[in-house]
Amino acid sequence: MIQSVAFIGLGAMGYRMAAHLPKQFDTVYVWNRNFTKAEQHAAEFGTQAVALEQAVQADIIFSCLPISQDVENLIASVTLKSGSIWVDCTSGVPESAKKLAAALKQQNVAFLDAPVSGQTIGAETGTLTVMIGGDAVAFERALPAIQTFGKLIKHVGEPGAGFAVKAVNNMLMAVNLCAVAEGFTTLKAHGVDLHEALDCINASSGKSNVTETVLPQRVLNRSFPLTFALPLLAKDTGIAVDLVRQAKLSAPVLSLTQNLIQAASDQAEENSDFSSAMIMYEKWSKITIE
């Protein structure tokens, strides 16, 4: 029986995800490097802000950090309890998941890579998609805790499989970011009304999440709200092309996209939302997508 859970990393996503745990569990530890956030979370949601050493003694420990290296460093700095499960919701590196899963197994701790999709709104409403790699038994044991914030929860394969699916998902989104920017600057150069064109495309075979939500909600209205930073998308596309390389496959469109997103990220202003990748194309073409 799960007696206690912990959540480590209370960023924009983690803060909201951890808020659902007390509905299901009596003992919910939270920890954050900037500890004020943990205390704020405890005050707001009835969780317990505790020292890292105590947090990692929970039966299930969630983590949600910027990159896999952060998770590796954190795990290397603590001693875990035999029989516990570490559920890492970072958008991380599959190779890292394999290493951690193998290493923690030595301590009789299961490691699940469990990245999420659905943005802050999905975290808030507890309707995230969670794609999970790792041991099937640990997956079943951790499921009730994951269900507090997840809606569609899938066990997609061995350690690293969750991270792989997340990386490919974000890559596919990035491909559409680039392709839509290219297509819509072209249409505008030819005098086409972009709003009418978008309506047509969203009723047709060219539609994607980018045409359905990113373009109308972030670009055409020129808002580019920062909810997912462009450098993090660049990182994710990098993870995807590394998977291609490791498998010795050929993925020209993904690779090109990774390079373009990297270029866009390198040139973007600080704190740019991922949607501002399109601004690189606007600078190239001197055409505004609006």
Length of the chain: 290
Question: With b meaning 16 or more CB within 10 Å and e meaning fewer, what string describes 66-101?
Answer: bbbebbbebbeeeebeeebbbbbbbbbbbbbbbbbb
Contacts of 103 (CB under 8 A, 6+ apart): 75
Rounded Cα distance between 10 and 244, Å, is 32
Rounded Cα distance between 16 and 12, Å, is 7
Angle of CA points 124, 125, 130, to nearest 5°: 90
* 76/203 with CB nearer a copy of itself: 203
What's the closest the beta carbon of residue 184 comes to a copy of itself, in angstroms?
Answer: 8
* 15/228 with CB nearer a copy of itself: 228
* 209/223 with CB nearer a copy of itself: 209
Mark whether 81 is an active-site residue. no
What's the closest the beta carbon of residue 252 comes to a copy of itself, in angstroms?
Answer: 4
213: tokens are 């939500």
Q: Catalytic one among 37, 98, 166, 188? A: 166
* 52/251 with CB nearer a copy of itself: 251
What's the closest the beta carbon of residue 255 comes to a copy of itself, in angstroms?
Answer: 4
Residue 144 backbone dihedrals phi, psi, to 5 degrees: -60, -35
What's the closest the beta carbon of residue 253 comes to a copy of itself, in angstroms?
Answer: 5
Catalytic annotation, residues: 166
